[in-house]
Amino acid sequence: MFRSLQLRVLFLSVACTFLLAGCGGGGGGSTTTDSGPQVATPVFTSTAAQNGAKIVTITTNTAGANIYYTLDGSTPTSTSSLYAAPFLVTSNVTVNAIAQAHGYLPSSVGSETFSLSVPSNTLVWSDEFNNGTGSNIQPDPTVWAYDTGAGPGNSELEDYCAWNSSASPCNAASPNSYIGTDGYLHIIAQQPSTGVYTSARLKTQGLFSFQYGRIEARIQLPEEQGMWPAFWLLGNNITTVQWPACGEMDVLERVNIATAPDWIKGSIHGSNFINDNIGTQYNFPTGQTAAGWHTYGMIWSKGKVSYYVDDPSNPYATFTPTSLNGLNGAVWPFDNGANFVILNLAVGGTWPGSPDSTTTFPAQMLVDYVRVYTN
């Protein structure tokens, strides 16, 4: 999400506890000795996604070991991608992995070949937020985790609440996120008392990730003073390189009341381009607003990120490494591994400002589905 430099730096100071408990986690700095027992060789398991795709999980029986992997057939090292979450595989690929731990010899290389060849433009993963129970239910806990607590910098005002949380000011009887009987994910900003706000920030971190493809979500946005809804991605490697080196792809951001023309924004952020350096505003056609249902998507391939609204054949913004030209020290981070997905509704902050007397609570962001397709 768009943040000023000062507040981006503040974000880093809380990222370890807010984005992933135990940031660093013994990641890329892992060292080994030249004697001692050997780390157990990584083991691969896979589960079916959709239309022939697989979700790959890598494990080792050595507690506390870090797993590093490659997808290009090369032998992995401690500088390869750190395994952080199950990831989507849609093509012919050989995954090689090693595991390392302090006081152990590195493992042997584990290897698994997947022969998939899923056609382009094929739906390979989705959460449709279906609900046939007759009551509101929890978002799928095998897909969605939560950031919790006070907003992560940006001068945001909300406390983020997990499902069924009663930690003050959260209220399990009035959840900030749920799948309704209408088949939509509801992300709700509430004002339980004067000057106190709660909301939700859902993420697939540690549970599901992917690299390259087309991702889209059909969303209806709140348009109220002080509301800041977003649909975005961060690199799994945030646990080792931290933000912003992990890269951030903001498929959708929107603040405050409707305008004419109404708009949303898509941006990218990384090392030395963390402010509003690289972002494009999309203006809706006359008569349309972000308060209506729209599909917001990203087409991601090696060296290229494009954003669209409603029509994937007509991106309104495309970014490549050449987009960083003229930004001193800027580094393209979007080819360094898999990313996880975030959906949230912030309250207040440096971009929208605070709610005021015109702001209606509760305010909600509705999500019909999140889908991933092959390119």
Measuring CA to CA, which residue among 96, 68, 97 is closest to residue 84?
68
In a domain, 192, yes or no: yes
pLDDT for 1 equals 57
Q: Measure the CA–CA gap between 203 and 44, rounded to whole angstroms.
A: 24
pLDDT tens column, 274-293:
876 799 999 999 999 999 99
Q: Are 246 and 299 in a shared domain?
A: yes
In a domain, 35, yes or no: no
84, 114, 144: which is the final residue of a domain? Answer: 114
Q: Reply yes or no on whether 112 is catalytic.
A: no
pLDDT, average across residues 35-58: 95
Q: Are 107 and 141 in a shared domain?
A: no
pLDDT for 35 equals 63
When computed from its CA atoms, the radius of gyration of the chain, rounded to whole angstroms, is: 21
In a domain, 14, yes or no: yes
Q: Measure the CA–CA gap between 50 and 244, rounded to whole angstroms.
A: 32
Q: Are 181 and 203 in a shared domain?
A: yes
Q: Which residues contact 165 (CB under 8 A, 6 or more apart)?
A: 148, 172
pLDDT tens column, 96-123:
999 999 999 999 999 999 999 899 999 9
pLDDT, average across residues 303-331: 96
pLDDT for 154 equals 86
Q: Taking all residues of the chain, what is their mean pLDDT, rounded to a whole number?
A: 91
The yes-or-no verdict on residue 28 having pLDDT over 60 is: no
> How many folded domains does the chain comprise?
2
The yes-or-no verdict on residue 300 having pLDDT over 50 is: yes
Q: Measure the CA–CA gap between 63 and 94, rounded to whole angstroms.
A: 25
Q: Reply yes or no on whether 248 is catalytic.
A: yes
pLDDT, average across residues 10-18: 37
Q: Are 281 and 167 in a shared domain?
A: yes
Q: Are 200 and 307 in a shared domain?
A: yes
The yes-or-no verdict on residue 343 having pLDDT over 60 is: yes
Measuring CA to CA, which residue among 64, 368, 44, 329 is closest to residue 218?
368
Domain that holds residue 69: 43-114
76, 96, 114: which is the final residue of a domain? Answer: 114
Residues listed for the chain: 375
Say if CB 307 and CB 300 are below 8 A apart: no
Q: Measure the CA–CA gap between 202 and 222, rounded to whole angstroms.
A: 17
In a domain, 31, yes or no: no
Q: Are 11 and 52 in a shared domain?
A: no
Q: Are 97 and 135 in a shared domain?
A: no
Token pair, residue 169, equals: 């000011």
Q: Are 134 and 278 in a shared domain?
A: yes
In a domain, 295, yes or no: yes
114, 143, 163: which is the final residue of a domain? Answer: 114
pLDDT tens column, 176-234:
999 999 999 999 999 999 999 999 999 999 999 999 999 999 999 999 999 999 999 99
pLDDT for 26 equals 37
pLDDT for 30 equals 42
Q: How far is CA 374 from CA 42, 53, 329, in A?
A: 27, 10, 32
Token pair, residue 171, equals: 């209220």
Q: Measure the CA–CA gap between 368 and 366, rounded to whole angstroms.
A: 7
Phi-psi region of 312 (alpha: psi -120 to 50; beta: other; left: phi over 0): alpha
pLDDT tens column, 116-168:
989 999 999 999 999 999 999 999 999 999 999 997 778 999 999 999 999 99
Specify the CATH number for the domain of residue 246.
Answer: 2.60.120.200
pLDDT for 208 equals 98
**DSSP per-residue codes, 137-197:** B---TTT-EEE-EE--STTB-EEE--TT--STT--TTS-SEEE-TTS-EEEEEEEEETTEE
Pairing of strands 145-147, 201-203: antiparallel
Q: Are 340 and 229 in a shared domain?
A: yes
Specify the CATH number for the domain of residue 103.
Answer: 2.60.40
The yes-or-no verdict on residue 23 having pLDDT over 50 is: no
In a domain, 12, yes or no: yes
In a domain, 171, yes or no: yes
Q: Are 75 and 190 in a shared domain?
A: no
Q: Measure the CA–CA gap between 104 and 30, rounded to whole angstroms.
A: 11
Q: Are 58 and 128 in a shared domain?
A: no
Q: Are 202 and 280 in a shared domain?
A: yes
Which residue did the predictor score with more confidence, 175 or 8?
Answer: 175
The yes-or-no verdict on residue 20 having pLDDT over 70 is: no
pLDDT for 332 equals 97
The yes-or-no verdict on residue 261 having pLDDT over 80 is: yes
pLDDT, average across residues 308-325: 97
In a domain, 241, yes or no: yes
